[in-house]
Structure 1
């Protein structure tokens, strides 16, 4: 470098999946990444994983699905390098190897959302509807000895 030299650092427009995987293995990348696994898993919350871990590995690190989980698919929410956010549905198949459709590689700060299954949603709705009737019956019992 000499006086008057200029250093130009171009702005990255987009990082492909292959480039992201390659960058995760550099000496400048962290030893672990944080992925949020929330919803119907046994240990929801921030999960620490090695770089280049897959969606299946994140689900297993969170303890796997609980009894009320919808096991067919999960939502993957990702903050992209350009500041945009993407949300997509990923079908879960623990037998699949790493692939973008059913077992993608996760990036730091990705969030995996596991929803409730239909039976759990129905039970919750029925409980919300029946709850006030239980209160009314208890009041009637109090005054009528029913």
Structure 2
């Protein structure tokens, strides 16, 4: 079985190397390969990051999108991939080492965000509900003079 992971190895198109100028004189950002984190998850990440998910050494929830931490991490993986795929020298290695391996180890950890779920049933996550710090301990820096 061969899985196409060549998107990293494709040389950037000429419009990526020499972006067209916009009317305001800004460079046009490179086009995204994937339109959403979900598309990236199904089309790139899961087909290439294959692991045995048995509930003991690895855990996943089929309704991953109900887990805010998972959504945030998958979004981060997608955005990092879109950026690093443009680096033809070490981009793929950096993405795997610094992003995919790190976030997927957290996501798949049996004590991770899917710890109450299994491959058959989703269970809503219970967010931590810490107490608020006393008034004034963490002033809003947006309202402080520069």
Do both proteins adopt the same fold according to a TM-score greater than 0.5, normalized to the shorter chain?
no
Q: TM-score, normalised by structure 1?
A: 0.24
Bigger proportion of residues as helix? 2
Q: Which has the larger radius of gyration?
A: 1
Bigger proportion of residues as strand? 1
